[in-house]
Structure 1
Amino acid sequence: MTVLPFVRAVAGLAAGILLYIWLPDQYWLPAVLAVVGSVLIGWLLVRNAFRQAGVVLGVALTGLLMALGWGVTWLHTARNDADNLIHLSDTLRAYEGVVTAQPEERAKTYRVELAVTQGRWGPTADWQPLSGRVIVYLDKTAGILPRYGEVWLVNGAPRLIDPPFNPGEFDYKTYLSRRNIYHQQYLRPWQRRVLGVDPPNRLTATAIRVNQWADSVLTRQIGTRAEYGIVNAMILGVRDDLDSDQYRAYATAGAVHILSVSGLHVGILFFVLTWLIGITAGKRDDRVWLIALQLAVLWFYALMTGFSLPVLRSAAMFSMLLLAKALQRRAPTGHSLSVALFFMLLYDPYALFSAGLQLSSLAVLGIGMWQSPLYQSLTFRYGWANKLWQITAVALVAQLVTFPLGVYYFHQFPTYFLLANPVVMVLSMALLPLAMATLAFSWMPYLNDALGWGVQKTAWLLNEAVSWTGQLPGAAWDNLWLSPVELVLIYAVILLGATLLLSRNQNWLWPLSATTLVLVVLMLVSDTDQLGQRRLAVHFLPHRTAVSVTTGKRSRLLTDLDTTDQRSYDFYLKNTFGSWGIANPEWVDIRHASLNSADKPAVVYRRDYSLLVWQGRSVLLVNRLSDYHRWRLPAVVDYLIIRRNALRDWNQLANRVVARHIIFDDSSRTPLTDQLLADAKKRHIACHSVRQMGAYVSEF
């Protein structure tokens, strides 16, 4: 079979998956596609015209594959189950669930994924079958980290996961819904009881035990936390021991992919094993027992990492290469990749939206297509220089094909990736086999100590190299944003440019130039719009106040958020300002603000309120409405922002202030705000709550 058939199969299956995402309720669509495809296949069978029916056969198979993609996605979507928690209309009093993934340790909580099995609700409160998954945040005062397979009895009802409330904010709700998780709950220790242990999947339980054993060996042998954190992330896929500065250094150096177990790690392991076997076995490296050894090591590594999607894809792909070698057949990279992706999408259609899988698949495809021509374009006199150029060519091609998607998802580009990646690749090719050897010989005291020392020193050298690269001036371009249209155009430019260089056919120059021109025009229009923007925004920030005023590409954020709480800012607000073309807004502490200049909002701070005037608009932030201090504003204000539970009854505003727009931020208690909104509806008072309606944005 050639490469093209399975590439077309993956494309047809992916089209069916996307069709379900866009039109999930149109059940007639897959039926029509399946009927049309079947009729065309039957017609070709009757006429015995398969050899001459290229287009007709292609249309028929595409229709069947799209119907298949729509169908498997429908089957894989938990909300289509009648007994799913999302369909429950009554209040859930209690439920029983089992821990279905390895719990994660956070700063103050344990993050646990529960699969619900039954629940109690309604007037009778009898136990009834129930399904669904819930993300539970268990207070750390509960004690030790929960275990996979624990069966819990939980009191109370989970709530639906919130959608993004701020423009550009990461859509955590959609991300979890693609894992069939629609609810979350915060638990105090007394709200749950462990009934027993019943692992739902024995293979997953085995993988977790192997992971924990490997963690104990590496912890004992490495010792130092910084080096252990890197090895733990690279080998086991656990980032709990990485601090934020360490992670940021790898991201700045363009080496953050090393910290996520992926196809790169499987590829390194595969090529190192092939090299070692080639040295020991000579030309007879296609013997069955040698191939079986490679397969065993690859799938043991996949088991140890918990069968993450990129690792599964890569392990399946390299397994096909090994089996082809055993059968003395040729297995092209594109063919192996497309076969692996096809069966992965059948197993989990939502894997199509995994950023890690997309990036690793693109990297493999790009390296398979373009690394060899690029490497052969230069030749050096010395062998070590050719080896370095070979690694550099791999890094260059991988970065070229993945950087648009990386910018789209992560909004930055590492300037010195070409400097850092060859070093990172070489050290990773040493670190990964050393770590695996440390695990394999953990029972041999002196050899294990020597291997552990090698792992620790290699990890230290890797950290130092990445840290040095990240400290260079201009190490990363931040605040880069691409629209979906711009993303597609950039990939079109890359594909057309590569085709022009490889084919040397000047006819490709015209579509390349036209596509580049359209891309540049779109970016210029977007940049011009950002230069002319004027807006006031009241952002959603949990239990905090966040008000921004934006002029062009400059913005000032008036907030009571502590400047040390970078994590909250990054999650809730960074993407908002980034989408507006603002890299670093100026922070102003609203609790004692004092700004007065021509281009800044004039702020008057009082204990009961803060008043700012900007662009001819007045904004009043009310902190307290006291009966002992009945202040009054003589003029109408444009925007009235209620914060810190200041308003408890609408009558408190009488004879104090009149406002054109009334906004509740999230610094007030949610039940109080909900009650005020209900009263406002009865009184016909127009108001806005960022908790219920999302961020309030006013364009000038």
Structure 2
Amino acid sequence: MTYPVVRFVIALITGIVTYETIALPNWPIYLIGSIGLFAFLQGLIPLKNRSVTQNKLFQGFGALILFFTLGWYTTWMHDERNTPTHLTRQTDSLVAYEAVITGQPEARARSYRVLLSLSRGKTASGWRPVSGAIIAYLDKATAAGIPVNAPVYGQRWLVYGTPVPVEPPKNPGSLDYKRYLRHQQIHYQQFIRPHQRLVLSTGNPNPVKAWAISLNQWADSVFAAQISSRTEYGIVKAMLLGATDSLDPDTYTEYATAGAIHILSVSGLHVSILFLALTWVVSLVKRKARYPWIWPAVQLYILWFYALMTGLEPAVLRSAGMFTVLILAKAMDRPQSLANSLAVSALFVLFFSPYTLFSAGFQLSYLAVAGIGTWHPGLYQSVTFKHPWVNKLWEVSSVALVAQLITFPLAVYYFHQFPTYFLLANPVVLVLSNVLLYTGMAALLFSWIPYVNTLAGFFLQKIVWLMNGSVQLVGQLPKAALENLWLSAEELVLLYALIFAVVWAITSRKIMAPGLAACLSFWLAGSLLMDDYQLDRQQRFAVHYLPHYTAISVTDGHKATLLTDFAPSKDQRTFDFHLKNTFGQWAVDQITPVDLTEDSTQTNIPIARTEAYTLWVVHGKSILIINKLNRHAFWRLPAVVDIAVIRKNALRNWQQLDGRVVARNLILDSSNSPRLTARLLAEARTRHIPCFSVNQQGAFLAEK
């Protein structure tokens, strides 16, 4: 069987990646597209001196070039920055704007997160058409403490204030939220006080989206009424409706540790479960059906009803599209190929939303389905058991094994951890998630029947309770998750090449397959050993971004001293969000915190300490930490210090440093007020004083 659509998707993906990574003008792409069109048309014209095979080669080559061009051009069309009215192309700052809520609002602890689509904006020169999307956070309370009415889809707002660009990551290894939002065509954000917003009207920009959101909210109200426990309700809402705002953070961590995090979001897995159940039911009744087309129609109806119920989540749409292709192919008695079905669904998804390609969910879901479809049958059939229940357990375990094998390099690349006992948790979780999905659909179906809906809610809660218990047991095992695993892009490619080479060596008799696997394994091992060699000898000084606090690290090999006025032991979540990935990327396994606000004997680095400043010598460099600038204090300092870190708003104007401190590097850390920092930077530019701001530029790094 041939896979022509797979080749076209690869060409389309190449065009998308080319647009994203290489800045090219339009004319070379148009030229390449013209060549492709000419080659394709040449293949359609029969000539006496050209064989059928040659015609097909012309057609195939031309089609690939055209799909490459289509990938580039589609991405260019979806890049809203190319629109003349886009917010990124405005020369004047907005002071007000009109916008419509185009996504389902998300309730958070102190604010509502909404997606706004601009229609026009006001600058100093007046109102003008402006386009673009903004992530806005609406404060839940007014100045008087009165709760704000929750925003709804379709509301048109008049907003006063200036949206600001989304900032890049400020610490090494941190999540690149700016890149993540850019792939969703979001470049700006704003925190909005209630008095800055005026609701002008409410409508339905997209009737289908409005219907999906209404259905999602109805299902949410049903589950909220049926499930009394907030923990279980949060999991049901996340798994079946795609909303994680009610999910407990500790529960999320437990599922991640057990390797079952994929269960907590609506994805292709849930659609697969529903599709398999529908296929089984149809196989039972189709033989007796008078009109065979009815059952495919029923399958499609239930499949897309679930997609609507999740609020048309992108992951569900991708999977629903793929299974729609399978259902239609079977209904029309066309040959079914998982590879071509996957490719067709990917083709539609990427054509209408090319930036989806850069989503981790898209990559992981397609890899998992492709791996399971390709490798699972052979692995499952390689071992058989006499007892049917043992055989069924092996079937579920082999699915988890194949899915983990094909996705773990990408999961490590994105999330930097690997669940050690995934084979213990996943079979139980997969079985219970099947039951949970069916029970959840039944709870919605019978929600209008008294007592029956109560019973369905009771079973739903108990299923989640049992699933939580199994996940917690696995998560409490020693070394349940291997953390701080980092792969470079080159190592990711090498690891996937090695996996495919090993599978090829096992499943084929080619002489070169084992040799290729061995070469790739040596190459990968050499790359990892070189990384370890460099990390063993690293010496770094860093002033990290930690909002409202000072965080200075001195790293030597795999050990680091953290000089800070922040207590990591009291707020582990803040430490993990801002600094955990940085030290993980540097392979630091021992962090010694030193409190800057107290005299400490934990380290012998400081050589002078007063109330106003602390002087350190790190890796042969002098580090001055300025806490306070008294007018008449006399400082005994070297003539020139290498690095001076100013913290806690100690500096109010640059004259305070005259005749007192001379530094090669002046750093304003993140404990300083952003407003004060902005003023000092503006003054520094006029006085030609080189200065580094952690608030604005991110972490300051110095390596020996």
- Inter-partner Cα distance in structure 2 for 1:586 and 1:89: 48
Which residue does the alignment assign to 2:158? 153
Alpha-carbon contact 2:215-2:311 (below 8 Å) kept: no
- Residues 519-569 of structure 1: per-residue CA shift (max 9 Å, x gap): 000000001000000010111223322111100011122223342333433
Which residue does the alignment assign to 1:177? 182
Q: 1:341-420, aligned counterparts within 5 Å?
A: 341-420=346-425
Which residue does the alignment assign to 2:309? 304
- Inter-partner Cα distance in structure 2 for 1:407 and 1:204: 34
Which residue does the alignment assign to 2:637? 633
- Inter-partner Cα distance in structure 2 for 1:285 and 1:7: 37
Alpha-carbon contact 1:277-1:285 (below 8 Å) kept: no
Which residue does the alignment assign to 1:78? 80
Further displaced range: 104-113 or 396-405 = 104-113
The percentage of aligned residue pairs carrying the same residue is 49
Which residue does the alignment assign to 1:51? 52
Which residue does the alignment assign to 1:576? 582
Further displaced range: 254-263 or 34-43 = 34-43
Structure 1 portions without partners, runs of 5+: none
Residue 3 of structure 1 and its aligned partner are, at CA, apart by 4.7
CA gap 1:409/1:388 in 2 versus in 1, 3 angstroms: same
CA gap 1:603/1:470 in 2 versus in 1, 3 angstroms: farther
Further displaced range: 625-634 or 429-438 = 625-634
User: Which secondary structure does the structure 1 equivalent of 2:651 belong to?
Assistant: coil
User: Which secondary structure does the structure 1 equivalent of 2:243 belong to?
Assistant: coil
Which residue does the alignment assign to 2:34? 35
CA gap 1:45/1:57 in 2 versus in 1, 3 angstroms: closer
Residue 446 of structure 1 and its aligned partner are, at CA, apart by 2.3
Which residue does the alignment assign to 1:134? 134
The partner residue of 2:339 within 327, 334, 343 is 334
User: Which secondary structure does the structure 2 equivalent of 1:536 belong to?
Assistant: strand
Alpha-carbon contact 1:207-1:306 (below 8 Å) kept: yes
CA gap 1:259/1:677 in 2 versus in 1, 3 angstroms: same
CA gap 1:521/1:103 in 2 versus in 1, 3 angstroms: same
Please tell me whether residue 609 in structure 1 is matched to residue 610 in structure 2.
no
Residue 440 of structure 1 and its aligned partner are, at CA, apart by 1.0
Alpha-carbon contact 1:640-1:663 (below 8 Å) kept: yes
The partner residue of 1:236 within 221, 241, 259 is 241
- Residues 601-642 of structure 1: per-residue CA shift (max 9 Å, x gap): 337554322333333332221121122545443554221101
User: Which secondary structure does the structure 2 equivalent of 1:611 belong to?
Assistant: strand
CA gap 1:630/1:104 in 2 versus in 1, 3 angstroms: farther
Alpha-carbon contact 1:593-1:603 (below 8 Å) kept: no
Residue 677 of structure 1 and its aligned partner are, at CA, apart by 2.7
Q: Give the residue type in structure 2 aligned to 1:633.
A: L
- Inter-partner Cα distance in structure 2 for 1:603 and 1:183: 45
Q: Give the residue type in structure 1 aligned to 2:204.
A: P
Please tell me whether residue 448 in structure 1 is matched to residue 428 in structure 2.
no
Which residue does the alignment assign to 2:698? 694
Which residue does the alignment assign to 1:26? 25
- Inter-partner Cα distance in structure 1 for 2:291 and 2:22: 49
Residue 156 of structure 1 and its aligned partner are, at CA, apart by 1.1
Alpha-carbon contact 1:44-1:50 (below 8 Å) kept: no
Further displaced range: 300-309 or 581-590 = 581-590
Further displaced range: 517-526 or 276-285 = 276-285
Q: Give the residue type in structure 2 aligned to 1:570.
A: D
Which residue does the alignment assign to 1:261? 266
- Inter-partner Cα distance in structure 2 for 1:43 and 1:323: 33
- Inter-partner Cα distance in structure 2 for 1:108 and 1:604: 43
Q: Give the residue type in structure 1 aligned to 2:52.
A: R
Further displaced range: 177-186 or 399-408 = 177-186
Further displaced range: 159-168 or 629-638 = 629-638
- Inter-partner Cα distance in structure 1 for 2:688 and 2:226: 68
Which residue does the alignment assign to 1:645? 649
Q: Give the residue type in structure 1 aligned to 2:85.
A: D
TM-score, normalised with respect to structure 1? 0.96
CA gap 1:660/1:128 in 2 versus in 1, 3 angstroms: closer
Please tell me whether residue 592 in structure 1 is matched to residue 598 in structure 2.
yes
Residue 326 of structure 1 and its aligned partner are, at CA, apart by 1.6
Residue 593 of structure 1 and its aligned partner are, at CA, apart by 5.1
The partner residue of 1:188 within 186, 193, 202 is 193
Structure 2 portions without partners, runs of 5+: 143-147
- Inter-partner Cα distance in structure 2 for 1:547 and 1:284: 72
Which residue does the alignment assign to 1:552? 557
Q: 1:209-288, aligned counterparts within 5 Å?
A: 209-279=214-284, 287-288=292-293
TM-score, normalised with respect to structure 2? 0.95
CA gap 1:373/1:349 in 2 versus in 1, 3 angstroms: same
Further displaced range: 164-173 or 251-260 = 164-173
User: Which secondary structure does the structure 2 equivalent of 1:646 belong to?
Assistant: coil
Residue 584 of structure 1 and its aligned partner are, at CA, apart by 5.5
- Inter-partner Cα distance in structure 1 for 2:357 and 2:313: 14
Residue 687 of structure 1 and its aligned partner are, at CA, apart by 2.3
Residue 197 of structure 1 and its aligned partner are, at CA, apart by 0.5
Which residue does the alignment assign to 2:661? 657
Alpha-carbon contact 1:37-1:61 (below 8 Å) kept: yes
Alpha-carbon contact 1:632-1:656 (below 8 Å) kept: no
CA gap 1:573/1:319 in 2 versus in 1, 3 angstroms: same
User: Which secondary structure does the structure 1 equivalent of 2:156 belong to?
Assistant: strand
- Inter-partner Cα distance in structure 2 for 1:603 and 1:544: 23
Further displaced range: 307-316 or 362-371 = 307-316
Which residue does the alignment assign to 2:434? 429
Alpha-carbon contact 2:44-2:59 (below 8 Å) kept: no
Residue 184 of structure 1 and its aligned partner are, at CA, apart by 0.7
Q: Give the residue type in structure 2 aligned to 1:22.
A: T
Alpha-carbon contact 2:99-2:158 (below 8 Å) kept: yes
Which residue does the alignment assign to 1:4? 3
- Residues 186-237 of structure 1: per-residue CA shift (max 9 Å, x gap): 1111111111112211111111100000001011111111111111110001
Residue 175 of structure 1 and its aligned partner are, at CA, apart by 1.0
Which residue does the alignment assign to 1:15? 14
User: Which secondary structure does the structure 1 equivalent of 2:135 belong to?
Assistant: strand
How many residues align structurally? 695
CA gap 1:381/1:593 in 2 versus in 1, 3 angstroms: farther
- Residues 302-332 of structure 1: per-residue CA shift (max 9 Å, x gap): 1111222221121111112222222222211
Residue 89 of structure 1 and its aligned partner are, at CA, apart by 1.2
User: Which secondary structure does the structure 1 equivalent of 2:190 belong to?
Assistant: strand
Please tell me whether residue 206 in structure 1 is matched to residue 205 in structure 2.
no
- Inter-partner Cα distance in structure 2 for 1:282 and 1:586: 70
- Inter-partner Cα distance in structure 2 for 1:224 and 1:505: 57
Please tell me whether residue 69 in structure 1 is matched to residue 68 in structure 2.
no
Alpha-carbon contact 2:183-2:355 (below 8 Å) kept: yes
Please tell me whether residue 102 in structure 1 is matched to residue 108 in structure 2.
no
Q: Give the residue type in structure 1 aligned to 2:416.
A: H
Q: Give the residue type in structure 2 aligned to 1:622.
A: I
Which residue does the alignment assign to 1:120? 122
Q: Give the residue type in structure 1 aligned to 2:161.
A: G
- Inter-partner Cα distance in structure 2 for 1:24 and 1:145: 42
- Inter-partner Cα distance in structure 1 for 2:605 and 2:343: 56
Q: Give the residue type in structure 1 aligned to 2:17.
A: L
Q: Give the residue type in structure 2 aligned to 1:67.
A: T
Alpha-carbon contact 2:594-2:602 (below 8 Å) kept: no
User: Which secondary structure does the structure 2 equivalent of 1:528 belong to?
Assistant: helix
User: Which secondary structure does the structure 2 equivalent of 1:445 belong to?
Assistant: coil
Q: Give the residue type in structure 2 aligned to 1:52.
A: T
- Inter-partner Cα distance in structure 2 for 1:586 and 1:32: 59
Alpha-carbon contact 1:479-1:583 (below 8 Å) kept: no
Please tell me whether residue 439 in structure 1 is matched to residue 449 in structure 2.
no
Q: Give the residue type in structure 1 aligned to 2:488.
A: S
- Inter-partner Cα distance in structure 1 for 2:334 and 2:647: 70
Residue 668 of structure 1 and its aligned partner are, at CA, apart by 1.6
CA gap 1:602/1:12 in 2 versus in 1, 3 angstroms: same
Alpha-carbon contact 2:558-2:590 (below 8 Å) kept: no
Q: Give the residue type in structure 2 aligned to 1:321.
A: L
The RMSD of aligned alpha carbons is: 1.9
- Inter-partner Cα distance in structure 2 for 1:302 and 1:537: 47
Residue 647 of structure 1 and its aligned partner are, at CA, apart by 1.0
